[in-house]
């Protein structure tokens, strides 16, 4: 059993209790998968990170859900950099993180933390009726073909007609398992649709999104940075977003408003990356005693 410093950070928010929370365990990248998942369950957060030394980058970051390790996640990346910066662990404003999805460049400018997600990978289009059943909506609420897209973690990007449809969505876990199985995923690997509308929750936003999640994670994610990058890539590729930089919003319906600035890298039909930027508020810090 060892003691580790940790920080609890609200990512994609400049204030407490906004955006999406993440606990960052410093020096914990060597811990077992079982210990890391148990820690996530103990916090009741969607994801937590565990940092450590890297031979190929400035810092190694491991990302965990309550049910499994994942290669990359957006809001925990913002949280991790915000936590390390607040503790004085960073000596420069441009750094690189080693993640399971590859090397992720980070740029810090003022209070903004910008990550460059990898070039988008566009996968299969998913039948509208299957996705509609997963989110409990009529098929005509979906206005563009749902498609698997990844900028480090795959999501089924689903564009809805309006805010009313977005607010009415309810997750059907059995249908979600059918969707995951149709794409070759098994067990706890789920492919929850990332639902988005082409108007903001506020006048400042260009898009507004929700992500409903299967157990044992909490039922909804307040802000999903990796999905935001995949969503932006989808909108650009399909001609649904004219701006090269836009403001994405999520979490307002949960009372945890979050906001990100999203920027395209390269032309819409040949993107080489997606930049997602936001702030992080360190809400609390302490120590945790964890088994190896």
pLDDT tens-digit series, residues 166-190: 999 999 999 999 888 888 876 556 6
Residues 226 and 243 in one domain: yes
Task: Please identify every residue annotated as catalytic.
Answer: 47
- Across the range 22-41, mean pLDDT stands at 98
Q: Which of 229, 215, 219 is nearest to 260 (CA)?
A: 229
Residues 151 and 245 in one domain: yes
Residues 68 and 164 in one domain: no
Measured from the Cβ of residue 26, the count of other Cβ atoms closer than 10 Å reads: 21
Indicate the average pLDDT of the chain: 96
Residues 79 and 167 in one domain: no
**Number of independent structural domains in the chain:** 2
Residues 151 and 174 in one domain: yes
Residues 235 and 163 in one domain: yes
- Across the range 201-222, mean pLDDT stands at 95
Residue-range definition of the domain harbouring residue 261: 121-271
Backbone phi, psi, residue 129, to 5°: -65, -35
Burial of 105 (0-12, 13-18, 19+ CB in 10 A): middle
Distances in Å between the alpha carbon of 220 and those of 14, 169, 239, 278? Answer: 21, 11, 28, 20
pLDDT(219) > 80 = yes
């Amino acid at each position: 059993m060892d003691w580790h410093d940790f920080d609890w950070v609200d990512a994609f928010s400049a204030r407490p209790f906004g955006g999406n929370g993440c606990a960052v365990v410093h020096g914990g990248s060597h811990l077992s998968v079982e210990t890391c998942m148990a820690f996530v369950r103990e916090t009741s957060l969607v994801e937590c990170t565990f940092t450590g030394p890297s031979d190929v980058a400035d810092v190694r970051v491991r990302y965990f859900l309550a049910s499994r390790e994942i290669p990359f996640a957006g809001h925990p990346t913002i949280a991790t950099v915000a936590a390390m910066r607040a503790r004085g662990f960073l000596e420069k404003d441009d750094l690189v993180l080693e993640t399971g999805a590859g090397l992720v460049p980070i740029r810090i400018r003022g209070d903004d933390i910008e990550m460059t997600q990898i070039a988008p990978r566009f996968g299969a289009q998913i039948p509208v009726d299957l996705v509609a059943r997963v989110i409990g909506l009529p098929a005509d609420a979906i206005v563009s073909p749902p498609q698997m897209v990844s900028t480090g973690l795959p999501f089924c990007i689903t564009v809805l007609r309006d805010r009313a449809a977005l607010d009415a969505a309810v997750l059907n876990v059995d249908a979600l398992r059918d969707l995951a199985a149709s794409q070759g995923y098994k067990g706890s690997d789920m492919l929850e649709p990332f639902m988005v509308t082409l108007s903001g929750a506020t006048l400042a936003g260009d898009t507004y999104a929700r992500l409903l999640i299967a157990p044992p994670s909490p039922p909804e994610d307040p802000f999903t940075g990796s999905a935001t990058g995949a969503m932006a890539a989808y909108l650009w590729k399909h001609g649904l977003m004219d701006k090269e930089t836009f403001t994405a919003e999520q979490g307002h319906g949960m009372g945890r408003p979050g906001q990100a600035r999203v920027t395209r890298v390269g032309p819409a039909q040949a993107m080489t990356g997606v930049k997602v930027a936001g702030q992080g508020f360190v809400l609390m810090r302490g120590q945790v005693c964890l088994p190896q």
